[in-house]
Structure 1
Amino acid sequence: MASRLPRRRFIQGSAVVAALSAAAACSGSGSGGGGSAPSAASAADFTGTGPITWVQGKDNSDGKVQARIDEWNELYPDEKVTLIELSAEADQQRQSLINNAQTQSDAYDVISIDNVWVAEFAANQWVVPLPEDDLKNDDIVESVWQTGLYMDRLYGMPFATDSSIMFYRKDFLEEAGVEVPTTWDEVKSAIDAVRALPGHEKIGGFGGQFAKYEGLTCCASEFINTAGGSFYDDEGNVTINSPEAIAGLQVLIDGFKDGYIPKEALEWKEEDGRNAFESGDLLFYRQWPYQYANNMAALGEEKFGVAALPTIDGKDFVPTLGGHNCGISAYSKNKATALKFVQWWTSQESEKYALETQTLAPILGSLYEDSEMLEQFPYLPTLRESLDSAKGRPKAVSYGDVTAAIQDALYPAVQQQVTAEEAISNLETALKALS
């Protein structure tokens, strides 16, 4: 029998999960789906072998993804994988995947889904539940594994995790005689010191991804969470309007107001800031680990370094947990091959390859302690600490609406068009309307 999904759109807390699991047993297609989706039972029938597609965002690794796929194709010539690259921007990637699902197209087989999309894609039955016994092992970082679960079932197998870290221009700090900062006040002092040097007077300070897109949600959340604020509690109640959230947002606003965060960052996405950093126009950059490989190629290890994001007012910085998971389309005709590919794509060999060639953060804890990996990537302990302290974005079935509300409310604040109090109050109203 068909039933509507529960009105509450957030899957947080064991009691809520249990209730929703029971409701899902007789649920039809979720809200926002196009057409009638197949049932979970039939979608999870892993039969059918043959060619499949791997669909992800733009490959910034200079062909390393295709090279790995070529290895698969040599091993399994009757089950070849074709790489389909989508936009470099997360919002556009998500829309392309949704468009394909809503037309019930079999053009996409295995898809890369941001971990915050798992609930939405699972609830709408655009991806199928995966056999956990075939995919889980004790080496997977538990918090990373949890990102693939919806109502206690695995719908997205993690293949790369993420947590933000701070890249810094080692050469400029050394020129100014400044140690790597560990606090927000020290970051500002370091910026002042480098700007006092001839030729660096106008260097950008601390950059991030503050354009009005998913990057703003990630970056602004970090300031709010670091100050002790939150968007929701464990029961899914809106909690954003708090003194802590206002204080965290105010720190971010002041960074722009005082010139320590460059106004250009209001239009920056990941690659914009990386280009500024590598060209010498930015001293510190809040970014994902993949940048390490790019910096090594463009700058060399003598010109940059990696550190944890700075504490603010004595509080440890709370990074945003990122990462991508493998989902298998409900409309794939070759689900047996798709599952075999997911197993191979998330194996230790593949995880090591992705770390070595693209500096993607691995899902396996052992690689953060591997002596060979530590010699190549000495920042791995810093990254693991960041992962362990990171906080995920809301697990929302309607995550697209939630992140749009966050961006609509907070972007005017970082532009200094509204106060922190006004922005947080507006966001509270918007989030409650979505609950």
Structure 2
Amino acid sequence: MRFERSHTRRAVALGVAGSLVLLASACGGDDGSSGGSSGGAGALEGRGPITFATGKDTSGFLPKQVAAWNSQHPTEKVEIKELPEDADAQRQQMVQNAQNKSDAFSVLNMDVVWTSEFAANQWITQIPEDKVPDLGKLIPATVETAKYRDKLYAVPITSDGGLLYYRSDLLTKAGVEAPKTWDEMLAACLKVQALPEAKGMSCYAGQFEKYEGLTVNFSEAINSAGGVIVDKDGKPNVDTPEALAGLQELTKGFSTGAIPKAAVTYKEEESRRAFQEGKLLFLRNWPYVYALAGKTDGSSKIAGKFGVAPLPGKTGPGVSSLGGHDYAISQFAKNKATAVDFINFMASEERQKANIQGTSQAPTYASLYDDPELTKAFPYLAPLKASILGAQPRPRVVKYGDVTAAIQTAAYDALKNGKDPKQALSELQTKLSTLITQ
């Protein structure tokens, strides 16, 4: 479930708020109106068994969380409906289920950027804020991801910020520190790769396959160079010198070999495995990697040999895309009263603490970032906090599926197919102007 995933996605409440811009793009009759009884409190009725549609659980911990609920609610059990690992495939199945008005999925584990689309099309149910008792204790920025037109349609369960994983053992031997800029990272690679232990290792990778992870990595490169995809007024503004500098940093990485050619096929898991197998010096990925890379059961070759830092940028620390996952209730689900209670159970401080301990995924409960037990066990919480404090959302638009597809095409054409980055951005600007309207 990454990007996040599928795969999100991170106290932090201090100054994080700043309302995110809600782009109220309309699409025909699906204008986002939540009027009528379909979205109100009256819809949250019915008790009994429910299903939970979620991306593939690579941690193995989710069944334990659900089992904790089931043991306390024997007549309202939750059945996990595991969807593919790929976030785009998850979204597609959820959309198809909604378009068929099927009750097969009760609670949806959604990427934070899907809320506007699902709410505007009335595929998910509005949740009155008084039905979520701990909402005010969650990171404000994560709560905004769960809203559409100032109304709550989901509850934030995990947040996410991109992190830079690095081989601390090799950097220490080479006498270099964790980089703060792209140039510092490339210079560090040259020094480390001169070591016998680093022979054959590549410098850096992220997620560059043509899927949602590419939208994330592209957005981070653009934002870290001072550019934007959508400006503060909600208008596309990607054909700029700053955006060009960000995209060129990625294309230069591929052309020089600093980013291995294989990285154009990497999603979260492929890139994680490459790092754990000792093939990469630096990796951009989400917090979940920390627990898996640190395993001492033989599955990771780098346990105890890596560190975590904020993402690098052009002139200083970079800008992460705001990731994470929100739980929403399908408009067509049965037993919605049970669904609300299950969501509140999973969003509770107790469950979120258990989740970070079991998976290293970022919580949305602000106090957990200052929990002494957690900060001792998970040193990455400090750079993660910094990542989230400076994170920027991907475009929050009703036609998000079309927007992210356009971004992925432009980025992939430049990285894989050799299209001139300036041309790719110019064409993307034109395409986004047709998709994002005021």
TM-score by length of 1: 0.90
Query: Could you tell me how far apart the structure 2 residues matched to 1:169 and 1:349 are?
Result: 33
Query: Could you tell me how far apart the structure 2 residues matched to 1:393 and 1:13 are?
Result: 10
1:206 equivalenced with 2:204 (yes/no) = yes
Query: Could you tell me how far apart the structure 2 residues matched to 1:186 and 1:57 are?
Result: 36
- Residue 167 (structure 2) aligns with: 169
Query: Could you tell me how far apart the structure 1 residues matched to 2:336 and 2:206 are?
Result: 39
Q: What's the offset of the Cα at 1:137?
A: 3.4
Q: String of CA shifts for 1:358-392, please: whole Å, max 9, x gaps.
A: 11100011111111111111111110110010000
Q: What's the offset of the Cα at 1:179?
A: 2.2
- Residue 55 (structure 2) aligns with: 57
| Aligned partner of residue 104 in structure 2, secondary structure | coil
Alignment-mate amino acid for residue 263 of structure 1: K
Query: Could you tell me how far apart the structure 2 residues matched to 1:44 and 1:358 are?
Result: 36
Q: String of CA shifts for 1:76-135, please: whole Å, max 9, x gaps.
A: 000000011100000000001011111111110001010100000000100000121222
- Higher normalized contact order (CA 8 Å, seq sep 6+, divided by chain length): 2
Cα distance 1:311–1:234, how it changes in 2: closer, same or farther (>3 A)?
closer
The range that moved more, 242-251 or 50-59, is 242-251
1:115 equivalenced with 2:112 (yes/no) = yes
Q: What's the offset of the Cα at 1:213?
A: 0.8
Q: Which runs of 5+ in 2 are unaligned?
A: 1-18
- Residue 13 (structure 2) aligns with: none
- Residue 94 (structure 1) aligns with: 91
Cα distance 1:73–1:281, how it changes in 2: closer, same or farther (>3 A)?
same
- Residue 368 (structure 1) aligns with: 369
Alignment-mate amino acid for residue 147 of structure 1: T
Alignment-mate amino acid for residue 70 of structure 2: N
1:178 equivalenced with 2:179 (yes/no) = no
Q: What's the offset of the Cα at 1:283?
A: 0.7
Mapping of residues 237-386 of structure 1, within 5 Å: 237-297=235-295, 298-299=300-301, 301-312=303-314, 314-386=315-387
Residues 310, 317 of structure 2: 8 Å contact kept: no
Q: What's the offset of the Cα at 1:416?
A: 5.8
1:103 equivalenced with 2:100 (yes/no) = yes
| Aligned partner of residue 92 in structure 2, secondary structure | helix
Query: Could you tell me how far apart the structure 1 residues matched to 2:55 and 2:65 are?
Result: 16
Q: String of CA shifts for 1:131-171, please: whole Å, max 9, x gaps.
A: 21222433211111110010000112110000100111122
Q: What's the offset of the Cα at 1:233?
A: 2.0
Q: What's the offset of the Cα at 1:207?
A: 0.7
- Residue 10 (structure 2) aligns with: none
Residues 251, 414 of structure 2: 8 Å contact kept: yes
Residues 227, 315 of structure 1: 8 Å contact kept: no
Query: Could you tell me how far apart the structure 1 residues matched to 2:197 and 2:293 are?
Result: 22
1:129 equivalenced with 2:126 (yes/no) = yes
Mapping of residues 212-251 of structure 1, within 5 Å: 212-251=210-249
Residues 409, 423 of structure 1: 8 Å contact kept: yes
Query: Could you tell me how far apart the structure 2 residues matched to 1:226 and 1:416 are?
Result: 23
Q: What's the offset of the Cα at 1:308?
A: 0.9
**Which of residues 72, 88, 98 in structure 1 aligns to 2:69?**
72
Query: Could you tell me how far apart the structure 1 residues matched to 2:427 and 2:398 are?
Result: 22
Q: What's the offset of the Cα at 1:176?
A: 2.6
Residues 253, 416 of structure 1: 8 Å contact kept: no
Query: Could you tell me how far apart the structure 2 residues matched to 1:356 and 1:41 are?
Result: 35
Query: Could you tell me how far apart the structure 1 residues matched to 2:162 and 2:64 are?
Result: 27
| Aligned partner of residue 278 in structure 2, secondary structure | coil
- Residue 7 (structure 1) aligns with: none
Cα distance 1:173–1:328, how it changes in 2: closer, same or farther (>3 A)?
same
Residues 208, 267 of structure 2: 8 Å contact kept: yes
Give the % identical residues: 44
Q: What's the offset of the Cα at 1:243?
A: 1.2
Cα distance 1:205–1:46, how it changes in 2: closer, same or farther (>3 A)?
same
- Residue 401 (structure 1) aligns with: 402
Alignment-mate amino acid for residue 432 of structure 1: S
| Aligned partner of residue 77 in structure 1, secondary structure | coil
Q: What's the offset of the Cα at 1:235?
A: 2.8
Query: Could you tell me how far apart the structure 2 residues matched to 1:355 and 1:370 are?
Result: 12
Query: Could you tell me how far apart the structure 2 residues matched to 1:347 and 1:41 are?
Result: 24
The range that moved more, 248-257 or 156-165, is 248-257
The range that moved more, 39-48 or 254-263, is 39-48
Count of aligned pairs: 411
Q: Which runs of 5+ in 1 are unaligned?
A: 1-10, 32-36
| Aligned partner of residue 138 in structure 1, secondary structure | helix
Q: What's the offset of the Cα at 1:13?
A: 4.7
Alignment-mate amino acid for residue 302 of structure 1: G
Cα distance 1:306–1:315, how it changes in 2: closer, same or farther (>3 A)?
closer
Query: Could you tell me how far apart the structure 2 residues matched to 1:412 and 1:303 are?
Result: 35
Query: Could you tell me how far apart the structure 1 residues matched to 2:80 and 2:249 are?
Result: 42
| Aligned partner of residue 196 in structure 2, secondary structure | coil
- Residue 5 (structure 1) aligns with: none
Residues 53, 109 of structure 1: 8 Å contact kept: yes
Q: String of CA shifts for 1:294-325, please: whole Å, max 9, x gaps.
A: 0111256521111111132x243111100110
**Which of residues 70, 78, 83 in structure 2 aligns to 1:81?**
78
Residues 43, 128 of structure 1: 8 Å contact kept: no
Alignment-mate amino acid for residue 266 of structure 1: V
Query: Could you tell me how far apart the structure 2 residues matched to 1:38 and 1:104 are?
Result: 17
Q: What's the offset of the Cα at 1:42?
A: 6.0
| Aligned partner of residue 363 in structure 2, secondary structure | coil
